[in-house]
Amino acid sequence: MAFSLGIILLLVIPAYCTYVGNEVPLGGPPSVCPELGVFAYAHEQACDQFYLCQNGTFSSETCPNGLAFAADGKVVQFCTYPWHVKCGDKTMPDPIPSDQCLWQFGLFPIDDACNSQYFKCAWGIRYVTDCDEGLVYDDTKKACNWPDLLGCNSEGMNRFSL
Ligand SMILES: *[C@@H]1O[C@H](CO)[C@@H](O)[C@H](O)[C@H]1NC(C)=O
């Protein structure tokens, strides 16, 4: 009896350790909501959804259109721009355009020229936003960038060559 129990443990323990070592955090609801505090958990499939525990109360949440879940996301609490998130195979929804914005939230170029301003959309309303002085908006980076890296002159208004 002791012999066969030993055999079983020898077989089971390495298999268990291998499983724990290879476990991939795919997200999912917590088994228990902590009683105090606010905690957010990634959704298994949807990059824009998450689970929330607020003082022990569980809820399923969805980021505003155009944002993805991030524990430290601050564009809207627990949500940030998707280019700051590794969504991997997780899904993002289709855009819900307004008359001013393709997505409810996002950054968009004003035109394709070397522009020191860009549109920042929030709740479907676009706001003209300034780059820091001397920079122009680079939509491939979704950030402001040095004009010479984009083929713009230092005033940031015209391209060197067209
Ligand atoms: C959670 O509980 C604390 C202490 O009672 C309270 O200050 C806080 O406002 C609560 N937060 C939420 C999200 O309910």
> Domains in the chain, start-ordered, CATH in brackets?
24-93 (no CATH), 95-162 (2.170.140.10)
Ligand 1 binding pocket mutation candidate from 55, 59, 61, 77 (most atoms within 8 A of CB): 55
> pLDDT, tens digit, for every residue of 77-87?
999 999 999 99
Nearest to 124 by CA among 64, 81, 36, 84: 64
Task: Indicate whether 21 pLDDT > 50.
Answer: no
Distance, CA 52 to ligand 1 centroid (Å)? 14
How confident is the model at residue 6, as a pLDDT? 45
| Token pair 């949440």 in the structure block, residue | 61
Does residue 39 surpass a pLDDT of 70?
A: yes
The mean pLDDT of the chain is 85
pLDDT tens per residue across span 100-122: 999 999 999 999 889 999 999 99
Q: Cα–Cα distance between 104 and 153 in angstroms, integer?
A: 32
pLDDT higher than threshold 80 for residue 147:
yes
Tell me if residue 51 falls in helix, strand or coil: strand
Max CA separation in the chain (angstroms): 85
Residue-wise DSSP of 54-118: ETTEEEEEEPPTT-EE-TT-TTBTTEE-GGGS--TT-B-PPP---SS-SSSSEEEESSSS--SEE
Residue 11 confidence (pLDDT): 43
55 in contact with ligand 1, CB cutoff 6 A: yes
Is 153 near ligand 1, meaning CB less than 6 Å away?
Answer: no
Q: Is 38 in the pocket of ligand 1 (CB under 6 A)?
A: yes
Report the percentage of the chain scoring pLDDT > 70: 79
**What pLDDT was estimated at residue 20?**
44
Cα–Cα dist 137/118, whole Å:
6
Q: Cβ-count burial of 65 within 10 angstroms (0-12 exposed, 13-18 middle, 19+ buried)?
A: buried
- pTM of the entire structure? 0.78
Distance 18 CA to ligand 1 centre (A): 40
